[in-house]
């Protein structure tokens, strides 16, 4: 039996004692067999990305506090969420590469939209899952040293996170657990159709998820990574929690489709997810920073525009965000 290095909690409807899974959906992304890796490597479909893809919003300097809501994309899946006077960072990655090392792996095509030194005081860090493009330990170490902000993460992520700094304060959540950050601000971890791994032999041994962030009169859902499947995950979120006012949905890292459909939505599926959730507004992320898959660097924004037009949805209702770009209701 495979050793479980992260979590030794009780069995549940989504934990079998070794691995987590999403009931009724595909349990995991396609595994990287030698044949699959060879097919990916030699298919010849990987687009060439430019080394630099600068954002016109780069160098943003957000306000110290915001009474209402202000969302700024740092880059890839990293967001600064300023809400009800608190500052939250989701999946912060300031490193040059999304990789176990800084000498090999996907490198940034643009700098973070907000410099680390220009961040306002951070009250909490939210981690959706442990992939290197979402859980970056060097960044987490620097954030703890500068802000001592507690981390909220899915089950099984504490030990890896504390390897960034042993004093790090971590709160683990199971799916549907709520954590109250302040009397008027709560976060709830919800399912997504994805998976976790930090190495070759720990697939799905830590939980993953999305964050529902709620204040009086406003709810936002941040999805770090997800596949679409049959859409039941999104419809269930709406049935349990109501339609969010804002959905932050990934739109990139989706080609080749035969391989990526079990892990990442494409823009057309992202629009479907928005409609399943009942969100009136969506922000697209997870594109244009790290080349993880085969599509051209601008394809997600282009394909999103086509998907919105096909459904007669105004383009301003689902924005393909760029680093440093801010959105306010």
Domain-located, residue 54:
no
Mean of the pLDDT values across residues 212-221? 97
If one counts the domains in the chain, the total is 1
Domain-located, residue 15:
no
Does residue 123 surpass a pLDDT of 60? yes
Which position has the higher pLDDT, 22 or 1? 22
Domain-located, residue 74:
yes
Does residue 36 surpass a pLDDT of 80? no
Domain-located, residue 300:
yes
Domain-located, residue 11:
no
Does residue 44 surpass a pLDDT of 70? no
Mean of the pLDDT values across residues 34-61? 79
Does residue 46 surpass a pLDDT of 70? yes
Q: 87 with 54: CB under 8 angstroms?
A: no
Domain-located, residue 46:
no
| Whether residue 279 has a cis bond before it, omega within 30° of 0 | no
Query: pTM for this one?
Result: 0.94
Full residue range of the structural domain in which residue 78 is found: 59-327
SS3 of the chain? CCCCCCCCCCCECCECCCCECCCCCCCCCCCCCHHHHHHHHHCCCCCCCCCCCCCCCCCCCCCCCCCCEEEEEEECCEEEEEECCEEEEECCCCCCECCCCCCCCCEECCCCCCCHHHCCCCCEEECCCCCCCCCCHHHHHHHHHHHCCCEEEECCCHHHHHCCCCCCCEEEECCCCEEEEECCEEEEEECCCCCCCCCCCCCCCCCCCEEEEEECCEEEEEECCCCCCCCHHHHHHHHHHCCCCEEEEECCCCCCHHHHCCCCCCHHHHHHHHHHHCCCEEEEECCCCECCCCCCCCHHHHHHHHHHHHCCCCHHHEEECCCCCEECC
State the pLDDT confidence band at 34, using cuts at 50, 70 and 90: very low
Q: Residue 290: which CATH number? A: 3.60.15.10
Mean of the pLDDT values across residues 170-197? 96
| pLDDT tens, position by position, 259-310 | 999 999 999 999 999 999 999 999 999 999 999 999 999 999 999 999 999 9
Q: 59 with 76: CB under 8 angstroms?
A: no
Which position has the higher pLDDT, 3 or 58? 58
Domain-located, residue 4:
no
| pLDDT tens, position by position, 4-20 | 899 999 999 999 999 99
Domain-located, residue 295:
yes
| pLDDT tens, position by position, 69-117 | 999 999 999 999 999 999 999 999 999 999 888 888 899 999 999 999 9
The residues, any chain, with a CB within 8 Å of residue 314's CB and separated by 6 or more, are 308
Does residue 33 surpass a pLDDT of 60? no
> Residue 151: what pLDDT?
98
Average pLDDT of every residue of the chain: 93
């Amino acid at each position: 039996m495979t050793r479980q290095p992260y979590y030794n909690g009780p069995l549940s409807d989504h934990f079998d004692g070794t691995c987590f899974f999403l009931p009724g959906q595909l349990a995991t992304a396609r595994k990287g067999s030698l044949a699959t890796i060879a097919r990916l490597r030699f298919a010849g479909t990987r687009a060439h990305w430019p080394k630099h893809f600068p954002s016109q919003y780069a160098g943003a300097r957000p306000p110290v506090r915001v009474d209402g809501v202000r969302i700024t994309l740092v880059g890839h899946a990293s967001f600064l969420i300023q809400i009800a006077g608190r500052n939250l960072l989701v999946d912060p990655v300031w490193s040059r590469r999304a990789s176990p090392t800084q000498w090999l792996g996907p490198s940034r095509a643009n700098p973070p939209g907000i410099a680390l030194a220009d961040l306002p005081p951070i009250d909490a860090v939210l981690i959706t899952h442990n992939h290197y493009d979402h859980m970056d330990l060097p960044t987490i170490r620097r954030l703890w040293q500068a802000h001592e902000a507690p981390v909220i993460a899915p089950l099984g992520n504490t030990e890896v996170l504390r390897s960034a700094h042993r004093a790090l304060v971590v709160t683990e959540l199971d799916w549907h657990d709520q954590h109250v950050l302040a009397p008027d601000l709560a976060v709830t971890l919800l399912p997504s159709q994805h998976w976790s791994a930090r190495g070759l032999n720990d697939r799905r041994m830590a939980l993953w998820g999305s964050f529902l962030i709620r204040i009086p009169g406003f709810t936002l859902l941040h999805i770090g990574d997800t596949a679409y499947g049959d859409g039941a995950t999104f419809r269930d979120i709406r049935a349990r929690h109501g339609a969010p006012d804002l959905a932050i949905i990934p739109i990139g890292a989706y080609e080749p489709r035969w391989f990526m459909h079990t892990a990442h939505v494409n823009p057309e599926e992202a629009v479907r997810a928005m409609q399943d959730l009942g969100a009136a507004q969506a922000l697209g992320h997870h594109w244009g920073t790290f080349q993880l898959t085969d599509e051209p660097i601008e394809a997600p924004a282009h394909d999103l525009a086509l998907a919105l037009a096909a459904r007669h949805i105004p383009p301003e209702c689902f924005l393909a965000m760029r680093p440093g770009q801010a959105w306010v209701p």
